[in-house]
A and B are shown apart, each in its own frame.
Chain A
Amino acid sequence: MIAYKSQVRAAVSKAGTIAVTLLGLLTLTFIIGRVMPNDPVRAIVGEEATREVYENVYRQLGLDRPMWEQFYKYLHDVVTLDLGNSVRTGQPVLEDIIHVMPATIELALFAIIISATLGVTLGMVAAVNKDRWPDHLIRVFSLMGHSMPIFWTGMIALIVFYAKLGWVGGSGRMSQFYIGLEPNATGFLLLDSAMAGEWDIFRSALQHIILPASLLGYSSAAFITRMTRSFMLDQINQEYITTARVKGLSQCQTIWFHAFINIRVQLITIVALAFGTLLEGSILIETVFAWPGFGSYLVGNLMIGDMNSLMTCVLIVGLIFTVLNLLSDILYRVFDPRTR
């Protein structure tokens, strides 16, 4: 019963933290919206509007009201999911984002699978072979992934693997030939085409996603590798590892059955964090690969100062990070008996 009570208390305090975080996030996006050097009214009415029209819109937007009132209205709008229209597309911002998000999530999921598999494996190998050649090799490999700017590797990879070798598809989510023909149920192209049995489209989509996803995955695998290595080194020097060895377990068994289950929890946090950064990285990679996702949408709106949609994009990114953090917290509790 006591344990149950403390669970409830933990959940309540967690909810409180999230509420404060979200409020901070909203304040931040609100301030960004007010201090940006572009004029939201001009963005709507254009350069040649008369003074009268300008002031009308100015009032319509509520910009003549005091700051706190504007903030209150903003909060109200967010809570009621009324985030305004995008100037660029003329559509409600939220609809736009729901439309572009699956492309990005598909790319990011593909990338995180690559980076988690690669990163954890390499990190484990490096830790077990500390200070021997596999460790050095992996360190160089991950340092490269960490330090090369992704928009540059993206362009180089396009030149090499698409233009010269022709191994993969070029920009976009699929070959131009199929655009307009793709099935659309969930917005996840690989899933949709597989479900509809459109294997040609599926193959084309796979060829197109593999390069940007690999590059994204590689850049965040560097981070996961380094963290896995250091978590693992922490564990290898613990006494319970000696106990496992004394029991007669082989090194391999010791590593996987004893050390790995101890870093599992930390890995979840790291992968969740990496997933967040990966979404950030996708902004650059989507631009390079003309990937019609959230990143391209954000960059397009940034170029013309489309405030409504920009504020929402920032809000969404913040929201994603908050949710990922919450998720890793919950998983922490599930996997580590000491936190229960």
Chain B
Amino acid sequence: MQEMNSDTILAVENLSIRYRGTPTDAVRNVTFNLGRERLGIVGESGSGKSTVGRALLKLLPTADIKADRMQFRDIDLLNTPEKEMLKVRGRRISMILQDPKFSLNPIQKCGPQVAEAYSNHIRCSKKEAKQRTLTMLESVQIRDPERVYGLYPHEVSGGMGQRIMIAMMLLTDPDVVIADEPTSALDVTVRLQVLDILDALVRDKGIGLIMISHDLNLVRNFCDRVLIMYAGQVVEALNANEMHKAQHPYTRGLLAAQPHIGGPRQPLPVLERRPEWLEDVKVV
């Protein structure tokens, strides 16, 4: 168990999630704390990393969530009714989704979509919401916010779409942002640019960030701490700069399967998956 300090924004203990009608838990006994830091969750497809993210917002209508604790600041997320959750979502915890091609409403102009995130929570005039939106668009480095405000999602590029998404989700100054594979739909060149913008804003505003990704290198460079998930469990939690100290064979396998520029020209080892890793583990 990690040490608790006064900076903890979010504390999760033994979170288990089961989709209704399935025989096993999709997520088992996940425990972590989040402060004003950047926490990475890495895992392969189906490891449950996105499910954890969505469970924090209670956005899993077809799943049952169980946990010993899911405390966000003064709010016990576990026992918060839906009506109260509406005030948490988008206002205090928000989430950046993967692909702006699908995550923006296709027949609504970008600007009003962003503004809606603000006016939904904060009583204000239309003009004020628009003004806020324009300022925010500018701070995600959109050069001509007035023009972009009136564009439809199919009229902007992927990189710009994702910056619009970031603007939308940071507009209300939330305490926690969950970024669910925020760059995997983007070109490699745009990826870094978008990450830099996100990084700057998150640091600036002191937001706790949960970065969900399958890209080990990205998470290692971008985050302070990393959780490695396998088959619904956190198999290992590490500081990002101490990845080489990894103990669990799965993590070690992942690291060994990374290609290096200038590394030996041999086939990379194939990732192993042993059945005993499926058994319950306790992260020390």
Chain A interface residues toward B at CB < 8 A: 238-240, 242-250, 258, 261-262, 265, 335-338
Contact = CB atoms under 8 A, between A and B. Distances in A.
A258 B120 CA distance: 14
B282 interface: no
Given A246-B59, A248-B121, A239 B89 contact: no
B102 interface: yes
A243 B89 contact: no
A94 B159 CA distance: 61
Contact of B169 (A239, A246, A250, A336): A246
Contacts of A247: 89-90, 94, 116-117, 120, 168
Nearest to A261: B107
B108 A239 contact: no
Interface in B162-179: 165, 168-169
Nearest to A338: B154
A258 B117 contact: no
A249 B120 contact: yes
B97 interface: yes
Given A239-B99, A246-B57, A262 B106 contact: yes
Contacts of A246: 57, 59, 89-90, 94-95, 97, 169
A245 B90 CA distance: 8
Nearest to B101: A239
Contacts, number: 71
A248 B87 contact: yes
Given A247-B168, A338-B154, A239 B90 contact: no
Contacts of B19: none
Nearest to A251: B82
Contacts of A335: 107
A240 B94 CA distance: 14
B154 A243 contact: no
A248 B103 contact: no
B106 A338 contact: yes
B90 A338 contact: no
Contacts of A238: 102
Contact of B108 (A242, A248, A250, A261): A261
A314 B105 CA distance: 43
Contacts of A265: 107
B222 interface: no
Interface in B40-66: 57, 59
Contacts of B154: 337-338
B86 A248 contact: yes
Nearest to B118: A247
A288 B169 CA distance: 60
B227 interface: no
17 contacts: A239-B98, A239-B99, A240-B102, A243-B105, A243-B165, A244-B105, A245-B59, A246-B90, A246-B94, A246-B169, A249-B120, A250-B86, A258-B108, A262-B106, A262-B107, A338-B106, A338-B152
